[in-house]
Structure 1
């Protein structure tokens, strides 16, 4: 297919003019990834960060379902402590020597990323602008494909679980059992059913801890304007009703080229 490829200078200008705010004044490229400029202040601390073989790492590109799977993992590790799960705590995840990685159809990711960026990250561009940044690897924390494939290559490693957002939507009970098995926990059918209800999308939308309610309130007090909740739609294939039509074939072509030969299918999910 024929597509107009923007220049590196055009993409960099678009990123810096449309995707900056007081807490993200600029960007740097580190090992091929686009990161907030503040990374330079934290680089040495990150390099010196002590990693233990008892750590649990929940990883994923923004807007792929990390908050969702974190809620499930925390509850399984803490014997289904639903009261404790009501507290918003970035450090609340108990540690084990495991890795859980979650990904999602990048077209849905880009739409969700756009709404979050407009609401909470100072993005002043259009959906077209964000799709362009996404496709041509200038999106914050991108490239998406490099991020995903770096973990996909480790999917058969010991104590590693690779998940798709779409599988969670399709069969949440099966995903819950898979996470429990990875974490060395056993759940009864009744416990699984209750956790499935708690972790349903409808329940997550009304859960203040998962829906970042306190953070949103602080953001509004500081002058921010929120147009949609943190957990917004969550639909599989929701991009079809929002993405500009001319970008859909571009994304399909991009996905075929980026993931061809990897064995990972993020289109037919």
Structure 2
């Protein structure tokens, strides 16, 4: 078996996770990483916080066939993934808005390992959806470097990686966990579990650093949520260049409007609000359906975290980053303020 499964012994998690209705987490560590072209000296992957359900899918992902024309969209959760997916799909598909509107983003760009995280409706199998897609396949994942299919490192499909301010992630991830995972803890409790690397796909800093330390030639593109909010057209032009696509300024203006927060929120093919409502109804929380913080596309503000994160928690996240990231080249990846 290519994975080691480690029980979580953190006393706070063990004492409170049932009360908070946290997920049935387990730490997972890949045991075979020799193929991964990473430049970090003496690198070994740290255990990743996942769900016990992931064990049924882990090896299938590791062994899956990868195609050269695949497009892999990767991020730590709540980093602007949905926004990037819609942008990438349209740029790669000749700005076919009609086709995009005619099918859900999750069908055009399925979430590879979702079935290894949660119970899905009987008619949903995201992993099989990926395998069944016609080429080129568009694949979303939040998995760390060491969990990707082995064939990625020999086939070398294109990868896009997006990062985001951890303070913004913490706030967005908290609301996401309340609405989609049934989390019942406080913001402060959630942030502390995030800092303790006990949320899905943690450790966070290693996730970002490892992807930025790949020796992957010109087949990986790095994006940043805050830079997209500051100058979306510049990001779109970088994506176009990465995929050898060329569009006029007028076409890019139209795309930018399509990708605006207001447009994305109103776009039923992109906004998976029905999935949020499904989860809320399943856990008898229909009263939260109209809550702004229970919306799949919630606020879309680059500095919205400042309105919700206490100064004390903000300082704790800063201290956490200072402790975890000491290399000057890596520190730049986490400087947003």
Query: Aligned equivalents of 1:109 and 1:155: distance in 2?
Result: 27
Query: Aligned equivalents of 1:16 and 1:267: distance in 2?
Result: 35
Unaligned ranges ≥5, structure 2: 1-8, 30-46, 110-135, 139-156
Taking only aligned residues, the RMSD between alpha carbons, in angstroms, comes to: 2.0
Residues 210-225 of structure 1 mapped to structure 2, 5 A cutoff: 210-222=270-282, 223-225=284-286
Tell which deviates more after alignment, 151-160 or 170-179.
Answer: 151-160
Query: Aligned equivalents of 2:77 and 2:325: distance in 1?
Result: 19
Task: Give runs of ≥4 in structure 1 deviating > 4 Å.
Answer: none
Tell which deviates more after alignment, 212-221 or 146-155.
Answer: 212-221
Asked if residue 196 in structure 1 is aligned to residue 194 in structure 2, the reply is no
Query: CA offsets per residue over residues 121-157 of structure 1, 9 Å max, x none?
Result: 1101110111001111111211111111111112873
Query: Aligned equivalents of 2:323 and 2:137: distance in 1?
Result: 37
Contact (CA 8 Å) 1:19, 1:122: kept in 2 or not?
yes
What is the match of residue 221 of structure 2?
A: 161
Say which of 28, 31, 35 aligns to 1:30: 28
Unaligned ranges ≥5, structure 1: 1-6
Asked if residue 266 in structure 1 is aligned to residue 281 in structure 2, the reply is no
Q: TM (normalized to structure 1)?
A: 0.89
What is the match of residue 79 of structure 2?
A: 64
Contact (CA 8 Å) 1:211, 1:230: kept in 2 or not?
yes
Say which of 155, 177, 184 aligns to 2:244: 184
Query: Aligned equivalents of 2:201 and 2:277: distance in 1?
Result: 26
Asked if residue 130 in structure 1 is aligned to residue 128 in structure 2, the reply is no
Query: CA offsets per residue over residues 85-120 of structure 1, 9 Å max, x none?
Result: 122142414448211000100000000001111111
Say which of 54, 62, 70 aligns to 2:69: 54
Say which of 2, 7, 10 aligns to 1:8: 10
Query: Aligned equivalents of 2:258 and 2:158: distance in 1?
Result: 23
Say which of 98, 111, 136 aligns to 1:83: 98
Give 1:220 shift.
Answer: 4.8
Give 1:230 shift.
Answer: 0.6
Say which of 235, 246, 262 aligns to 2:312: 246
Query: Aligned equivalents of 2:184 and 2:56: distance in 1?
Result: 25
Task: Tell me the matched-pair count.
Answer: 259
What is the match of residue 40 of structure 1?
A: 55
C-alpha spacing 1:8/1:218, structure 2 compared with 1 (3 Å): closer
Contact (CA 8 Å) 2:28, 2:49: kept in 1 or not?
yes
> What SS does the corresponding residue of 1:268 show, helix, strand or coil?
coil
Give 1:219 shift.
Answer: 3.5
Q: TM (normalized to structure 2)?
A: 0.72
